[in-house]
Amino acid sequence: MVCAEKPASCLAVSMVLVLILVAAVACPAPAWADKRFFTILAIEPKGGATTDKEPFPTTPLPQGGGYVIGAPDEKTRRWEVSAYVWHPSQIIVNEGDEVTLEFVGINGASHPTTIAAFGQTFTVKRGYAHRVTFKADKVGIFAITCSTHEPSMSGALIVMPKR
């Protein structure tokens, strides 16, 4: 056995290994920021029924352009409801990440959009993509809003503390 022949060498190697282990535990590697990319769609899910199956709602939806309800058609008696939304509606990143959000207009002609906490104001148009890039330099939950289609077209950028 090598340690029996050279105990001083084994002790020195053991001490170095212990020091490396202690350093690894006591001084974890720095948390590196990542580059994060997300595609966010401006969509309008729809649903409806005929009045013989479901009566037309009598309670109004919340005010704003985000919700749309159409009265029953005279011929078919079909009524429809829709809501403008961001999909996905929540984005989770870490503090320090470089974040790129690519917004794509699917439904709705125009979406004046703001991410106020990160100084971003732009318009998403149907058939176009719009990219914004910024550093997530503060922790919290920050609104992504379309001013035309409030209250339903509101998302959240969630910035978690550094790991």
The pLDDT score that the predictor gives to residue 150 is: 96
Torsion sign, CA atoms 85, 87, 92, 95: negative
b/e burial code for range 39-55 (CB count within 10 A of at least 16 → b): ebebbbeeeeeeeeeee
The pLDDT score that the predictor gives to residue 163 is: 75
The pLDDT score that the predictor gives to residue 17 is: 36
The pLDDT score that the predictor gives to residue 24 is: 40
Class of domain 35-160: mainly beta
Domain locations along the chain: 1-29, 35-160
Instruction: Average pLDDT across each block of 10 residues of the chain; the chain has 163 residues. List them in order.
Output: 48 39 42 87 97 95 95 96 98 97 97 98 98 98 98 98 87
Q: How many CA atoms lie within 13 A of 19 on its CB side?
A: 6
Strands 78-83 and 67-70: antiparallel
The pLDDT score that the predictor gives to residue 33 is: 74
Token duo for residue 144: 């992504």
CB 65 within 8 A of CB 2: no
CB 50 within 8 A of CB 76: yes
